[in-house]
């Protein structure tokens, strides 16, 4: 195998051979996707697409080019798997040749980062029109006058239809490869048509670049009060815990639903759109997201009635991970530009399927750092082969798959900022009560929304709390609008001894996980007590 890189074009997003459709309008991309058989229009105007065999991200097939310039700053391991420069260059050649063999390809030029001081120029070159529409909805579009001579800081070659005949020869585990180079500032995607890989590769890039510039990158949603620009809130959480749902609040302006930076000036959205889960979506439960699904949005892997063309959001026939992508300004009260001040409240979201964590806890700075590093939620039975009962899912900083650096780098940035700006930190459990998954019931969304409202209107700033005997968490004794008996989870279990046994089991799992990190004694004391 040759080890030299191909001659780099003056523009790293340049592809020779096919007709390149560059920066098409939304209507033109939708027309192209339908013409090419990539998608169909739903009755609500959204483009409905299928990602094929892979209906979610492929973290075990993600690789980072290992070069001397970046080697010592990377937290190598299961998340950050190394690939040699020679193998990276070889896959790049294959991807360029494959894209060059297509009759037509599509290119998007835009930005990541709503704050111009920290934004990156991004170009996405894709063989499919709908992938380009996805990029157009998710990233920030460049103004027409800025596109002339546009040269990207980051280039994504989306060659999802390319199947490498001998993946091992390229250093891959199988036919799928998401290869990223922090030095070449390039992403190569082969073997998977799941569009979320496009989105998350740029967030990964920001998670590497921003700390070096003194900016804290965050896997969170953010909103701000209509009439109080100082009342900014952040919602951290893994998929399925409620980031998008809870930040889409009719009483507040949405800054963004998933990825942000926190600079010395405040917070800013990394993206220009939203990527919401829509399994069991309803107009009553999530009206803002429901109303955002219209022409210009993209539905992924959603079942649609062939006669009425009405999406069936309740169907998981293809996957539980059904998604919709739409520009952030499709939310009626979106904040444009997507920037805000320093957060007054920071909320960690967890969906505890063990049924033992309180629905709401106020965290000390040490507890905030502890629960941020551990990034806990639950993996439910049936979501993966072999999972027969709820399992803890610890993802550092609520975004482990997207962190090139050590989790402690990001945790220390959080701790410094909440101390400097006096941000209050809360742990909000959107999971189960009265027993574990399968026995208990999930907290009512109305209660969860009430907790959020009381946090953000300041009602709980001086609330009386009691300490959880096992986790040490500070539980409010009363929250207007929520039954007091649910605030301490032991009260909702019929068998108090069974509750204590399950709580100690989860506490033990926290301690087993926190042993991975070199935490200070002070932070470690912020974890479970026994």
Active-site amino acid positions = 57, 200, 219, 239, 243-244, 258, 323
Pairing label, strands 424-429, 343-350? parallel
Give alpha helix (H) positions in 327-406: 365-374
Q: Residues, the chain, total?
A: 530
CA distance 434 to 451: 18
**Upstream peptide bond of 85 is cis (omega within 30 degrees of 0):** no
**Residue 424 · residue 345 · CB < 8 Å:** yes
Region for residue 240 given its phi and psi (left: phi exceeds 0; alpha: psi -120 to 50; beta: otherwise):
left
Token pair listed for 317: 């026939």
The residues, ordered by sequence, that sit 6+ positions from 485 with a Cβ below 8 Å of its Cβ are 491, 492
Q: Which residue has the tokens 């507040």?
A: 252
* 3-state SS, one letter per residue, for 253-264: EEEECCEEEECC
SS3 46: coil
* 3-state SS, one letter per residue, for 226-290: CCEEEEEEEEECCCCCCHHHHHCCCCEEEEECCEEEECCCCEEECCCEEEEECCCCCCCCCHHHH
Task: Report phi then psi at 307, rounded to 5.
Answer: -85, -50
**Upstream peptide bond of 427 is cis (omega within 30 degrees of 0):** no
Fill in the DSSP letter of residue 87. Answer: H
CA distance 248 to 254: 6
**Residue 191 · residue 176 · CB < 8 Å:** yes
**Residue 477 · residue 466 · CB < 8 Å:** yes
Pairing label, strands 81-83, 62-65? parallel
CA proximity to 320, closest of 402, 272, 379: 379
CA proximity to 198, closest of 277, 122, 293: 122
CA of residue 377 relative to chain centroid, distance: 14
Token pair listed for 95: 């991807």
CA distance 450 to 380: 25
Q: Which residue has the tokens 């500070």?
A: 474
CA distance 299 to 122: 23
CA distance 506 to 512: 10
CA distance 175 to 488: 49
């Amino acid at each position: 195998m040759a080890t030299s890189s191909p001659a780099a074009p003056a523009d790293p997003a340049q592809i020779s051979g096919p007709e390149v459709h560059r920066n098409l309008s939304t209507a033109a991309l939708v027309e192209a996707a339908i013409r090419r058989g990539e998608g169909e229009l739903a009755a609500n105007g959204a483009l409905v697409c299928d990602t094929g065999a892979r209906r979610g991200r492929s973290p075990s097939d993600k690789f980072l080019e290992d070069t001397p310039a970046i080697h010592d700053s990377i937290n190598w391991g299961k998340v950050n798997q190394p690939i040699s420069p020679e193998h990276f260059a070889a896959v790049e050649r294959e991807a360029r040749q494959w894209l060059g063999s297509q009759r037509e390809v599509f290119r998007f030029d835009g930005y990541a980062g709503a704050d111009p001081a920290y934004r990156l120029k991004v170009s996405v070159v894709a063989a499919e029109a709908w992938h380009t529409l996805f990029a157009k909805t998710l990233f920030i579009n460049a103004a027409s006058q800025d596109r002339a001579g546009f040269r990207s800081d980051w280039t994504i070659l989306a060659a999802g239809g390319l199947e490498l005949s001998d993946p091992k020869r390229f250093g891959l585990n199988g036919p799928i490869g998401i290869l990223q180079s922090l030095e070449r500032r390039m992403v190569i995607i082969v073997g998977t048509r799941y569009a979320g890989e496009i989105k998350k590769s740029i967030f990964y890039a920001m998670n590497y670049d921003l700390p070096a510039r003194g900016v804290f990158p965050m896997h969170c949603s953010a909103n701000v009060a209509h009439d109080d620009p100082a009342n900014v809130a952040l919602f951290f959480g893994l998929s399925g815990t409620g980031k998008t749902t809870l930040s889409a609040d009719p009483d507040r302006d949405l800054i963004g639903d998933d990825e942000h930076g926190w600079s010395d000036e405040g917070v800013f959205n990394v993206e220009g759109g939203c990527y919401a889960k829509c399994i069991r979506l309803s107009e009553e439960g999530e009206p803002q997201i429901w109303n955002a699904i219209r022409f210009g949005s993209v539905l992924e892997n959603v079942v649609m009635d062939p006669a009425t063309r009405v999406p069936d959001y309740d169907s998981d026939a293809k996957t539980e991970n059904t998604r919709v992508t739409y520009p952030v300004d499709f939310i009626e009260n979106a904040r444009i530009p997507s920037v805000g001040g320093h957060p007054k409240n920071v909320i960690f979201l967890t969906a505890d399927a063990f049924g033992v964590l309180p629905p709401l806890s106020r965290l000390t700075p040490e507890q905030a750092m502890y629960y941020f590093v551990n990034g806990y939620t639950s993996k439910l039975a049936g979501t993966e082969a072999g999972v027969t009962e709820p399992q803890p899912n610890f993802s550092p900083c609520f975004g482990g798959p997207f962190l090139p650096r050590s989790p402690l780098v990001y945790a220390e940035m959080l701790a410094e900022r909440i101390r400097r700006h006096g941000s209050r930190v809360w742990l909000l459990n959107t999971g189960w009560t009265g027993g574990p998954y399968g026995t208990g019931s999930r907290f009512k969304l109305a209660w969860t929304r009430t907790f959020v409202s009381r946090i953000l209107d300041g009602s709980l700033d001086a609330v009386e709390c009691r300490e959880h005997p096992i986790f040490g968490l500070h539980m409010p004794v009363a929250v207007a609008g929520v039954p007091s008996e649910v605030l301490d989870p032991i009260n909702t279990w019929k068998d108090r001894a069974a509750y204590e046994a399950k709580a100690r089991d989860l506490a033990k799992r926290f301690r087993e996980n926190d042993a991975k990190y070199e935490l200070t004694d002070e932070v470690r004391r912020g974890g479970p007590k026994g």
